[in-house]
Amino acid sequence: MSRPPLLVAALGGNAMQDPAGDDTVPADFARTMETARTIGDLAVSGEWRLVITHGNGPQVGNHLLRSELAHEHGHLPPLPLDVCVADTQGGLGYMLQQSLVNALHEAGAPAVVAALVTQVVVDEDDPAFSKPSKPVGEMIGEERVDDLRQRGWSLEEDPHRGGWRRVVASPDPKEIVEAGAVAALVDDGVIVIAGGGGGIPVVQQADGTLVGAPAVVDKDLASALLASDLGADAFLILTDVDRAFVGFGTAAEKAIDRMTVAEARAYMDEGQFPAGSMGPKVEALCRFVGSTGGCGVITSIPNARAGLAGEAGTTIAP
């Protein structure tokens, strides 16, 4: 009997964060459960084998801030950024794993779900280390900018959302260290959560050993690499908008239902997809589709099934 096709679904950090701004753990669990019911439905139907990745942008910034405040007001040493990524990967993986198990139990289709600690190799000479660009944490008001810069933070203004965000290095992912383990688990019928927060960034030394790197890897680019390594049939990026737009925020704004890799790259060359928002998502889909010929889709969580059917979202084709 043939196996169902393999889907890699990438969730934004907002998929596990209360949209009303309630930062309590119960509120985040409630939001994660909503997401799990939608994603779990794809597995319940038997249509797909499933690997799930997720972001951690808001959460890792908050974790980093907690560490720095604890260091300033107590006697705890500050945590390096790679450990903050690992901590949030574990915490968010736990929330998503438990929520998926519960959602599948509710649906009468129990399954084994496993969250896997995942490392991603980056190049220590990547120019991104000298040009922080990845937004992390919450929005910051103008009144706090000078103080935070004195602490050594790199900050970047977000004119669309009316505030500032902390930015950190975001090097390009080169290798998913645990890709083989993910493949083995999928082959055994496990729903795998991997690559959380873009994976824990590590550098491979001359002797082959790995050491952590102070960065946050873009989760969509890391997910595209994992999807390509696994030979996935489809790569689905779930975000807070229904589809990609060109001319966004202008009188010429137009939703894109379908485009080829060449068309997508032409739009990127025009600056249609900003680096801080849709740009990495479109780039990630182009990499996956270009390397595998598979199906790449961007859409919102409620439209996940419709997006895979070509009835919603933006599809990128070879």
Identify whether 159 is part of a domain. no
Calculate mean pLDDT across residues 209-229: 97
Identify whether 190 is part of a domain. yes
Residue 174 is a catalytic residue = no
Is the pLDDT reported for residue 13 higher than 80?
no
Residue 310 is a catalytic residue = no
Predicted confidence at residue 7, as pLDDT, reads 98
Is the pLDDT reported for residue 227 higher than 90?
yes
Residue 254 is a catalytic residue = no
* Higher-confidence position of 74 and 272: 272
**In this structure, which amino acid lies at residue 203?**
V
Alpha-carbon span 148 to 130, nearest angstrom: 19
Give the strand pairing for 254-256 and 6-11: unpaired
Identify whether 77 is part of a domain. yes
**Could you tell me how far CA 148 lies from the centroid of its own chain?**
26
Average pLDDT, the chain: 93
Alpha-carbon span 255 to 258, nearest angstrom: 9
Identify whether 11 is part of a domain. yes
18 falls in which pLDDT band (50, 70, 90)?
confident
Alpha-carbon span 181 to 73, nearest angstrom: 41
50 forms bridges with which residues in the sheet? 7
Calculate mean pLDDT across residues 131-155: 87
Q: Which domain holds residue 111?
A: 6-120+177-232
Predicted confidence at residue 67, as pLDDT, reads 87
Identify whether 242 is part of a domain. no
Residue 13 is a catalytic residue = yes
Is the pLDDT reported for residue 295 higher than 90?
yes
What's this model's pTM, rounded to 2 decimal places? 0.93
Q: From the candidates 134, 195, 196, 313, which is the catalytic residue?
A: 134
The answer to whether 32 and 70 are in contact (CB under 8 A) is: no
Residue 134 is a catalytic residue = yes
The tens digit of pLDDT for each residue in 166-180 reads: 899 999 999 999 999
Calculate mean pLDDT across residues 110-121: 97
147 falls in which pLDDT band (50, 70, 90)?
confident
Tokens found for residue 30: 């409630």
Of 152-156, 257-261, 263-267, 299-303, where does mean pLDDT reach its minimum? 152-156
Calculate mean pLDDT across residues 57-83: 87
Calculate mean pLDDT across residues 112-139: 94
Identify whether 206 is part of a domain. yes
* Higher-confidence position of 223 and 78: 223
Predicted confidence at residue 289, as pLDDT, reads 98
Calculate mean pLDDT across residues 188-214: 97
- In SS3 terms, 167-232 reads as EECCCCCCEECCHHHHHHHHHCCCEEECCHHHCEEEEECCCCCEEECCCCCCHHHHHHHHHHHHCC
Predicted confidence at residue 245, as pLDDT, reads 94
Three-state secondary-structure class, residue 277:
coil
136 falls in which pLDDT band (50, 70, 90)?
confident
Predicted confidence at residue 52, as pLDDT, reads 98
The tally of domains found in the chain comes to: 1
Identify whether 316 is part of a domain. no
234 falls in which pLDDT band (50, 70, 90)?
very high
Identify whether 33 is part of a domain. yes
Predicted confidence at residue 78, as pLDDT, reads 87
Predicted confidence at residue 1, as pLDDT, reads 60
Q: From the candidates 57, 219, 294, 303, which is the catalytic residue?
A: 219
Q: From the candidates 13, 55, 93, 307, which is the catalytic residue?
A: 13
Q: From the candidates 40, 55, 62, 281, which is the catalytic residue?
A: 281
Predicted confidence at residue 275, as pLDDT, reads 82
Which CATH number does the domain housing residue 204 bear? 3.40.1160.10
